[in-house]
Amino acid sequence: MPNAIDVSHWRMGGITVPAVEDYLYNMLPPRDEVLAEMEAEAAQKKIPIVGPAVGRIFHQLTMMIQARNIFEMGSAIGYSTIWWARAVSDGGRVIYTDGDPKNAERARGYFQRAGVTNRITLKTGDALELLSEEKQHFDIIFNDVDKEDYPRVLRLAGPRLRKGGLFVTDNVLWSGRIANGKSTDHRTQAIQEFNRALYESPDFYTTILPVRDGVAVALKK
């Protein structure tokens, strides 16, 4: 197994105090060789993956609603995709999407080694367009695309989720910058607008989990 990276790598700052973050990450069981290698690659190349604490949330959410069809928006090298794919029951499917074909090639190799190839469909292109083309209803839609697009993703995701399905979004606390009501940064403003709209939406029951960079979990009513 590749050397585990230091737990301090997962600290986001601005949300949970470092000692508590380290405590949470130190408690996690070690990952298998493939996930550990992906974590090391992400740390080295500064690829912003969700990491193992959030990965476990994904696995748990999938089991809780016995999800079988998952649409992932913004998959990069496929780290979060593997967490979803390992949690779906037999016959379950996860759609991987990313705008960069090189990421998809890298992910394909990892999926083979992780033994989840038959559960994953890879699609490259704009994740918002790819979701719009889908006719089916998903059990879970996971949103991790460019932050400026979050308000648009919210409008697209609702109609594509089944009742009782989950709309899950990463980075909704944005290293704590979200708390600055006077921010002039476009990405911060987009996430602020997104969070407000998600909580106010009559179609969802929403909670933000302050794990790592903040994960919004919204239940479709």
Ligand X SMILES: C[S@@+](CC[C@H](N)C(=O)[O-])C[C@H]1O[C@@H](n2cnc3c(N)ncnc32)[C@H](O)[C@@H]1O
User: Residues in the site for ligand X, rule: CB under 6 A?
Assistant: 48-50, 74-76, 79-80, 97-100, 103, 126-128, 144-146, 149
- How distant is the alpha carbon of residue 183 from its chain centre? 24
Q: Whose Cβ is closer to ligand X: residue 128's or residue 198's?
A: 128
Rounded least distance, CB 202 to ligand X, Å: 26
How near is the Cβ of 170 to ligand X at its closest, in Å? 7
Q: Which is nearer to ligand X, 103 or 195 (CB)?
A: 103
- Report helix, strand or coil for 94: strand
Shortest CB 53 distance to ligand X, Å: 12
DSSP bridge pairs for 120 = 94
Question: 45 or 163: whose CB is closer to ligand X?
Answer: 45
Q: Is the CB of 7 or the CB of 53 nearer to ligand X?
A: 53
Nearby residues of 58 by Cβ (< 8 Å), 6 or more positions away:
50, 80, 83, 84, 87, 142, 168
Please report how close the Cβ of residue 130 comes to ligand X at its closest, in angstroms: 8
What are the DSSP E strand ranges found in the chain?
Answer: 69-73, 93-98, 120-124, 138-143, 161-170, 204-209, 215-220
CB of 36 to ligand X, least distance (A): 14
Sign, Cα dihedral of 104, 73, 192, 52: negative
- The DSSP bridge partners found for residue 121 are 95
Residue 89 structure tokens: 């029951």
Give the residue at shortest CB distance from ligand X. Answer: 74
Nearer to ligand X, 21 or 149 (CB): 149
